[in-house]
Amino acid sequence: MTVKPLRTLAAALLVTVLATTPAVAEPDVPLDDPIPEKPTPSALTLTLEEFAQFPKSEPVPAPTDQRLVRWARINYLGQVPDRSSRLFVNDLNGALYLRDRGVWQKYLDVGATFAPDFISGRGLGSGFGFVAFHPEFAKNGKFYTVHTEAGAALTTKTPDLTPQPNSVVHGVIDEWTAADPKAATFQGTRREILRLGFGTNIHGIQQIDFNPAARPYDPDYGLLYVAAGDGGRGVTTTYPQDLGLPQGKILRIDPAGTDSANGKYGIPGSNPFVSRPGALGEIYAYGMRDPHRFSWDPGGSNRMFLGHIGEHAIEAIYDVRAGDNFGWSVREGSFVFKKEDRCKLYTLPADDARYGYTYPVAAYDHDPPPGHSCTADSGHAVVGGLVYRGRRLPSLYGKYVFGDIVNGRIWFTYASQMRRGQDRAVMFEPKLRDKATGQLVSMADLAGSNRVDLRFGRDGDGELYVLSKANGKIWKITGAR
């Protein structure tokens, strides 16, 4: 048995107190520092080994926002669910890559398929945003992509459900069917299943995915989750709270069904608002600004965790369940957001429980420098992560690993401490070691840029990967001690 020094125990107790004590007890009080507690330095060191380098790609049209000028806008790494051990990576600028027997090859060019309407050079999330392989891809060859369109599409193609007024971009989900699921490049057919209209170039459809833990005959099996942002309009409207609109929601649809309004997908009968008059049956959860990344914990609980990018100050992780309302745009995290005062967040009202909002299980705030404009981008955005349940790194087991998109800082919490209705889980910051040099590094060092554009990925064995758009590289976490 190891006995900790009293000083260490006292420090740990202080961390717990800071993470669980509200900043202000009185209701409706403006806050200068909504989350005063900061991530705790951890003794854990993660070893990162360079795994892949992707070719340079260019946004279309040429961007006016220099944040879009990256080496390769790689957005996720996953594994094809066909027991082939093939990995996949998508680049927002249009390419889908597969890795087979150690070699990366372009499987499909989504951008070229939808040119000239395809755009990736307007808005940080524009382009070929995500790919989700059907759990029975090995048999049916089906996978799904989401991309953005503008140009002629805005006048020649009609969005499904209710578009935002004066939409400037469409988020489009397509179903692809490969003639040979084992082939190294795609040959087959496609069909459009859902098109949404958004009023600005930001906060569109960020991710689509299937619950990887669902098995045949489970109610969730084969259902596609769609994270649709508020189109940048939530800060001035009530769209995210309107159950008659798809924006600012997580949708859940059945690609094999036909009972939707457009007849191209089904609406699961177990969705929470199917029977509510005036509500879209597709909605699974609502009240969101920018639901950027979601994942499921494969460790038995199968909980769904969402990384949600905030407006004024709060970057949050939510435990998502059917029917949840995360409160945007009258709440930001577990604080009151007032449209008439965008420079402050406020403590919750005394009768807050009656509204039924769901609050984060982990969160951090922006802490902008002195003199920073309260309505300007402070350069922080959470990237939702993954719970490690692999076998190779026991010191990482049960930890939810996530980070900040911009500065690339990586944190973890204990999945067991991320509980709804309880205090926010304590965030810890591990050290990072470059396997090639043996030196302690930051993600900015590895990416060669102060803007890392951090993402995470996971293979079929549950091992975790770290991605950077800055230099188009992927590292595998090969050590945790």
Q: What is the pLDDT of residues 418-455, one digit of tens each?
A: 999 999 999 999 999 999 999 999 999 999 999 999 99
Q: Is the pLDDT of residue 474 over 70?
A: yes
Task: Write out pLDDT tens, residues 82-103.
Answer: 999 999 999 999 999 999 999 9
Q: pTM of this prediction?
A: 0.94
Determine the Cα–Cα distance for residues 263 and 249; give it in Å rounded to an integer: 21
Cα gap 153→170, rounded to integer Å: 8
For residue range 61-81, list pLDDT tens digits in order: 999 999 999 999 999 999 999
**Alpha carbons 241 and 346: distance in angstroms, whole number:** 19
Res. 377 pLDDT band, cuts 50 70 90:
confident
- pLDDT per position as a tens digit, 280-324: 999 999 999 999 999 999 987 899 999 999 998 999 999 999 999
Query: Residue 396 carries which DSSP code?
Result: G
Residues 313 and 35: their CA atoms lie apart, in Å, by: 9
Distance (Å, rounded) from C-alpha 65 to C-alpha 45? Answer: 35
Cα–Cα distance measured from residue 184 to residue 196, given in angstroms and rounded to the nearest whole number: 31
Quote the CA–CA distance of 332 and 314 in Å, as a whole number. 6
Helix (H) / strand (E) containing 295:
strand 290-296
Describe the strand order of the beta sheet including 341-346 as a list of residue ranges.
30-31, 341-346, 335-338, 331-332
User: Cα 355 from chain centroid?
Assistant: 26
Ordered by start, the domain boundaries in the chain are 6-480
Q: Which residue is associated with the tokens 């002195």?
A: 370
Per the CATH hierarchy, to which homologous superfamily does domain 6-480 belong? TolB, C-terminal domain (2.120.10.30)
